[in-house]
Chains A and B, each alone.
Chain A
């Protein structure tokens, strides 16, 4: 039943897929090592995509585990060593355990830390000998740089207390959602697609949790200006990825429901587009954010990611 139309459709989809795939890898490759490498990377494999995700999970797992326990992913029973390469190090302030005041937020931190470690272990297991080791991670200078970029101050310590921890978390979670969302359609294996969709959903749970708690704190104490800070971070992410418009911060918007003339005020807890679909980012766009605009490295990954997509 392959008609001209379906053939054309397949061609368009394949082309779109190729463009999405090429995004980060090809451009970075062109800049660093020339066209040959870019061409080689145009055929991104499922392993490449899962390893890209594994890098992000190493980052999240280290951030939350240090925040919740004061110690590393390894100390919590996880592994930073994949099937290939030597594990990098984590740059972080001394004694990073967050002095939580609110035990509920401390519990949330512990939950997210546990789940991100499980994502690391799952991806390492799924990738087997292909799994990359943890790259060098910076949880100190990265936040300071982002604070400047977002215009929220000369420095930012996400381990200083409850609110800072939540804002630090805010930086990651929506990005995780968009990364998995953008990668989903690139995966060839239905099994990996299913797993990636399930991990994306958990990242969205995390994002929804963090954003709801922040929104509630802002409502309880507007003078803290929490929504404004979160919105600056969201704007910085959108700016870094080059779109300028694929991220929604915390605040309110006026909506008209049911086609009626009445208008209502809605929160913006969910980070989604005008169709209420979560945003998706290409690997290039995600790299631009986690590298804080650096070329091939920088931000949270001072030596770049490990793996083919970097």
Chain B
């Protein structure tokens, strides 16, 4: 197994070099470039593709894209559950700063336990992806958990500001912002991954994000029933509408008969392109955008900018 992991790491490293030669390759030293081409090609030349296309990202590019999203989720849940975020070791060298986030006071042990569990899961996803990517792993980009939520709230028409750390109900709505997006992002990415081992891992993370999504959605719906007020349910669905607007549709509002977010014809979960996901996390619609919203300086890695 170690042998396989080592081989995969080396194979991925070479793919990274090949596909990212134009952009990511700039970060590599000359020595790394030589090492990356250490294998003898059929023609005996050092031949990276002349025009590596951003539309065909490598497996490491895709996993790094996912890692950025996991950093965001981990910071959100860790801060909500404990008051502090990722350790320096988990955030990587030269990690960007995190703005906002605070420990939430949960009214019941069960709600606290849900938050702790998801924090642990997202932390594990960060660690898993960092380990899988090895030296190719990007560090945490700058993350904003304050202005981002305010911008989402304004776009959703639910107020001029929104603090998901204010109380348990607000936390659930804040969590709702992320989970279905994670599902669509991993689902969209799955067929793009070449390596079967990483495909299976990504599918495993996809499933866990879907567990989380259903948990959050059913808790929000259950809360609306038990309290007799639909305020937070309506807030969540207003946010769903914003995500649909930014991210190419692909949304199912929460109701008694729609805990699952999926297409209505075949009951297959939605997927999103990296562009659509970026538009949501940057909180900006159509056009070429490279930062904003939850990532004030953009994502780290190869996939950072929308094409339209």
Contact = CB atoms under 8 A, between A and B. Distances in A.
Interface of A: 1-6, 8-9, 12-13, 16-17, 103-104, 107-108, 110-111, 114-116, 118-119, 121-122, 177, 181, 184-185, 190, 193-195, 197-209, 211-213, 215-216, 219, 252, 255, 257-260, 262, 264-280
A5 B11 contact: yes
Interface in B253-276: 256-262, 265-271
A12 B7 CA distance: 10
Contacts of B205: 276-278
Contact of B110 (A203, A255, A267): A267
Contact of A200 (B11, B207, B261): B207
Given A265-B116, A277-B201, A206 B271 contact: no
Contacts of B225: 104
Contacts, number: 257
A79 to B, nearest CB: 15
Given A104-B256, A194-B191, A266-B120, A202 B7 contact: no
A209 B259 contact: yes
A205 B196 contact: no
Contacts of B78: 257-258
Nearest to A220: B110
B85 interface: yes
A159 to B, nearest CB: 20
A201 B18 contact: no
Nearest to B204: A277
Residue among A115, A266, A274 with the highest chain B CB neighbour number at 10 A = A266
Interface stretch (B39-47, B138-146, B278-286): B39-47
A255 B125 CA distance: 15
Contacts of A216: 110, 219, 222
A266 B112 CA distance: 8
B187 A198 contact: yes
Given A12-B4, A194-B271, A266 B116 contact: yes
Contact of A257 (B123, B183, B210): B123
A202 B268 contact: yes
A269 B262 contact: no
29 contacts: A13-B196, A103-B256, A104-B225, A114-B267, A185-B199, A193-B199, A194-B190, A197-B206, A198-B269, A198-B271, A199-B267, A200-B210, A201-B187, A202-B210, A204-B211, A209-B214, A211-B215, A212-B215, A212-B219, A258-B78, A260-B84, A264-B116, A265-B116, A266-B116, A268-B117, A272-B208, A276-B205, A280-B200, A280-B204
Contacts of A103: 256
Contacts of A268: 117
A207 B225 CA distance: 21
B214 A206 contact: yes
Given A274-B124, A276-B205, 5 more contacts: A212-B218, A258-B84, A270-B121, A270-B212, A278-B204
B87 to A, nearest CB: 4
